[in-house]
């Protein structure tokens, strides 16, 4: 069912941050940084995959994501909802259900046998496709999914995520240069504000996390040399 309530963008961001904190999806560890897939250290780590195990929160956030996309892109803007392998798949299915649209998913690479497909499900030429993922950092990983969708003859000019890092200035330009608009519920800045309001972490930790968020590349470079 398509949601009928429309909280403000600011309230959606605050509540999303609160829910992520409540289920323990937010991790701050500046004193012993997490190592990202890139090999770089990070004071923060977020696990949006945990959301699938919390039905009330999961349902609320999917309502939020659906109304955000419709408000920003239009009520009749899409014909197909595609999830990116693997984290985007459950969220794409939930958004597709709410929007009463077909759902597909995009593999990271061809599966190597059979049809050797990257698109699973029915996607046809001319369809307007919304790419749904759990999060985006610098936007780069989305481009391969978008290209795979466009290779079918469909169009993809929008991607929607629950969480957007919001700390790398090149992200929206990277997507924009590829003809893709980004829609999201909250950023690290929203999470930091709500964590402080909730007293979820010590002030010392929050101060160090803020330093990381304000200059992530410099923070990473300094700690990379310390390893």
**pLDDT tops 80 at residue 227:** no
Residue 210 is labelled as binding a ligand: no
Would you say residue 147 lies in a domain?
A: yes
pLDDT confidence of residue 115: 67
Would you say residue 101 lies in a domain?
A: yes
Domain that holds residue 46: 9-221
Residue 142 is labelled as binding a ligand: no
Would you say residue 79 lies in a domain?
A: yes
Would you say residue 136 lies in a domain?
A: yes
Q: What is the mean pLDDT of residues 41-49?
A: 95
Residue 144 is labelled as binding a ligand: no
pLDDT confidence of residue 3: 65
**Per-residue pLDDT tens digits for 82-140:** 999 999 999 999 999 999 999 999 999 887 665 668 999 999 999 999 999 999 988 88
**pLDDT tops 80 at residue 225:** no
Residue 190 is labelled as binding a ligand: no
Per-residue confidence at 67, pLDDT binned at 50, 70, 90? very high
Residue 89: CATH number of its domain: 3.40.50.2020
> What is the percent of the chain where pLDDT is above 70?
95
Residue 85 is labelled as binding a ligand: no
Residue 225 is labelled as binding a ligand: no
Would you say residue 51 lies in a domain?
A: yes
Would you say residue 43 lies in a domain?
A: yes
Tell which wins on pLDDT, 225 or 28: 28
Residue 196 is labelled as binding a ligand: no
Residue 126 is labelled as binding a ligand: no
**Per-residue pLDDT tens digits for 151-190:** 999 999 999 999 999 998 899 999 999 999 999 999 999 9
Average pLDDT of the chain to the nearest whole number: 93
Average the pLDDT over each of 1-5, 42-46, 116-120, 209-213 and give the range with the smallest value.
1-5
When divided into structural domains, the chain yields a total of 1
Would you say residue 1 lies in a domain?
A: no
Residue 14 is labelled as binding a ligand: no
Residue 135 is labelled as binding a ligand: yes
pLDDT confidence of residue 4: 64
Would you say residue 2 lies in a domain?
A: no
Q: For the residues of the chain, what is the DSSP string, one character each? A: --------HHHHHHHHHHHHHHTT-EEE-TTS-EE-TTS-EESEEE-GGGGGG-HHHHHHHHHHHHHHHHHHH-TT--SEEEEETTTHHHHHHHHHHHHT--EEEE-SS--SSTT--SEES---TT-EEEEEEEEESSSHHHHHHHHHHHTTT-EEEEEEEEEE----TTHHHHHHHTT-EEEEEE-HHHHHHHHHHHT-S-HHHHHHHHHHHHSHHHHHHHHHTT-
């Amino acid at each position: 069912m398509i949601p009928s309530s429309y909280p403000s963008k600011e309230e959606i961001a605050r509540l999303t941050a609160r829910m992520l904190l409540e289920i323990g999806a937010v991790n701050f560890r500046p004193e012993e940084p997490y190592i990202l897939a890139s090999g770089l250290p990070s004071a923060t780590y977020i696990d949006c995959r945990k959301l699938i195990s919390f039905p009330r929160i999961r349902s609320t956030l999917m309502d939020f994501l659906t109304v955000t996309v419709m408000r920003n892109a239009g009520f009749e803007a899409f014909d197909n909802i595609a999830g990116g392998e693997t984290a985007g798949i459950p969220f794409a299915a939930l958004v597709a259900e709410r929007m009463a649209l077909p759902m597909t998913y995009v593999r990271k690479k061809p599966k190597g046998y059979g049809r050797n497909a990257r698109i699973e499900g029915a996607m046809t030429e001319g369809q307007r496709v919304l790419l749904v993922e759990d999060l985006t950092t610098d936007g780069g990983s989305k481009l391969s999914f978008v290209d795979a969708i466009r290779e079918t003859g469909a169009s993809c000019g929008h991607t929607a995520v629950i969480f957007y890092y919001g700390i790398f200035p090149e992200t929206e330009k990277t997507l924009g240069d590829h003809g893709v608009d980004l829609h999201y519920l909250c950023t690290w800045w929203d999470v930091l504000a709500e964590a402080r309001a909730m007293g979820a972490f010590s002030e010392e930790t929050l101060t160090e996390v803020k330093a990381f968020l304000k200059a992530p590349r410099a923070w990473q470079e300094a700690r990379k040399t310390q390893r």
